[in-house]
């Protein structure tokens, strides 16, 4: 009886997260020096209300001229869900801190966080933004998103080809 209770307590406190660090590609230096990238600014661009399966992407260049492709996707069961800057920072920092500085991707109950450093001068995300982007997430089937560049290189994506998001400047 006691061992069952201990197991249930451990299960309750366990982090329900699945993720990994990338093993190849460009290396950033955020894992060594967190001052190279303003994560508050990044998450101020990514916070807000998301529709189910909505993706927001942000391209940021750190102090060493490494371009980071940062992505946040709402994967929870709710129709809509809010994410604060603080919650975004908690999840995104874990991706930026991945071993060897190559970034990573982690899926929690409601959110999937992804951070990937790129070479200087390369694009954070493929162009042109107006064509469909195939995005694969292990949580669901491959999806097609239409994306538009918004304010401050913010990339807004949606899955309805007949509608266009309104910029919220």
| Per-residue pLDDT tens digits for 65-91 | 888 889 999 998 899 999 999 999 999
Q: What tokens appear for 47 in the block?
A: 């916070």
User: Mean of the per-residue pLDDT values for the chain?
Assistant: 73
Does position 93 have pLDDT exceeding 70, yes or no?
yes
pTM, two decimals, is 0.65
């Amino acid at each position: 009886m006691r061992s069952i209770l201990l197991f249930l307590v451990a299960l309750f406190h366990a982090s329900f997260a699945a993720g990994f660090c990338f093993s190849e590609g460009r290396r950033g230096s955020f894992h060594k020096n967190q001052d190279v990238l303003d994560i508050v600014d990044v998450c101020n661009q990514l916070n807000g209300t998301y529709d189910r399966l909505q993706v927001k992407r942000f391209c940021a260049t750190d102090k060493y001229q490494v371009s980071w492709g940062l992505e946040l996707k709402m994967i929870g069961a709710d129709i809509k869900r809010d994410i604060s800057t603080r919650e975004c920072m908690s999840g995104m920092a874990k991706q930026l801190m991945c071993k060897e500085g190559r970034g990573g991707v982690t899926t929690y109950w409601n959110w999937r966080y992804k951070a990937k450093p790129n070479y200087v001068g390369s694009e954070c995300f493929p162009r042109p933004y107006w064509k469909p982007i195939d995005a694969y997430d292990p949580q669901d089937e491959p999806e097609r998103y239409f994306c538009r560049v918004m304010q401050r290189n913010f990339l807004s994506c949606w899955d309805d080809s007949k509608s266009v998001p309104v910029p919220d400047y």
